[in-house]
Amino acid sequence: MNSFRKSLLPLSPLYGAIVMAKRRMYQMGWLRQRRLPSPVISVGSVSAGGAGKTPMVLMLAGILRRRGYAVSILTRGYGRASNLIERVDHCDDPAWHGDEPVLLAQRSGTPVFAGADRYRAGLLSEQEWRDDKVRVHLLDDGFQHLKLARNVDIVLLTLEDVQDTLLPAGNLREPIEAVSQADIVVIREEEAESLKGVLDQLQSDGNGFSVWTIHRTLGLAENDDRLPTLPLAFCGIARPNNFTRMLTASRYEPLETVAFPDHHLYTERDIARILDRARIRRANGFVTTEKDAVKLTPWMRERLEAIGPLIVARLNVELVNEKDALSELVQMVSELDRRKAQERS
């Protein structure tokens, strides 16, 4: 924590009190939630980025599709130029729609709808459904979006979250205690033992939640011969140190990581900065994240690849106990669908 953010520590308790009061007002019905016709599965966290929500949404979208569900993804699209409610296609401009919506459209194989009003985005998505499949919405980064009612609340919790503090001094958007309101809490395999005490306390404070454990892997390239031997890493994500650590853990330690703000849109000046660092460090290629890669224009890629290959690292997640976890989720969704059918009859 730098000195400026440390000076903001006295404001964090006030921020925490305000956000928890808002959550209680929704729980008591004093603030109105809108409910979509089809079930909503929210994937969120208490931190302002870096928890791994996008890979989790991608994994769930793939699993639910294979199970025969009609799936749509509803996302806000931070940093997007557009203020419209729109469907996002895989070839769309990330500057207009946001980097994460475009990445989700490229990777998920499901319709993606972006907009600040996720309820209206959900209604728009339901206009496109024409078959008899059970419909499910995946609400990306939805834990704080209380205006839209959700049927299942999935919250990712990391060790870094537990050690962090609230905004504006830290990166937490809600106190850790808010996690007790989740239906399912997702933790990383390597952090399971360290988080055990925290999870036990949260479960005793709340109504009880299930715990899912995920295994994360970083895919670098199909052909190892393409990997530059002296790579320079660059990224614009919430926790750039995690990217560097994962590369190192994959035995692919970069010479240096050039970090930009989260959701950063690259400019000619940024590419020049990356190239300067590559020449100084004598790098022979680059490695970046998927979220950053979608924002690179053909011209930018050409400039970078004049020095060496550009490798896009893909973060993949798998459920450690996939069969049990998915049975639980499918049961939740199926029960909700049965209730809806009974209400219609």
DSSP string, 253-310: --S-EEE--TTPPP-HHHHHHHHHHHHHHT-SEEEEEHHHHTT--HHHHHHHHTTS-E
- Convert the pLDDT of each residue in 248-304 to its tens digit: 998 899 999 999 999 999 999 999 999 999 999 999 999 999 999 999 999 999 999
Task: Find out if CATH 3.40.50.300 is the number for domain 3-216+318-339.
Answer: yes
- What integer is the mean pLDDT of 214-218? 93
Coil/strand/helix, residue 319:
strand
Among 190, 191, 158, 194, CA closest to 176: 158
Query: Quick one: angle between helices 298-305 and 268-281, nearest 10?
Result: 10
- What integer is the mean pLDDT of 172-191? 95
In the chain, ranges of CATH 3.40.50.300 domains: 3-216+318-339
Cα distance between the two ends of the chain: 57
Measured from the Cβ of residue 43, the count of other Cβ atoms closer than 10 Å reads: 29
- For the domain made up of 219-316, give the CATH fold: Rossmann fold (3.40.50)
In the chain, ranges of CATH 3.40.50.2300 domains: 219-316
The model's pTM is 0.92
Q: How many residues does the chain have?
A: 345
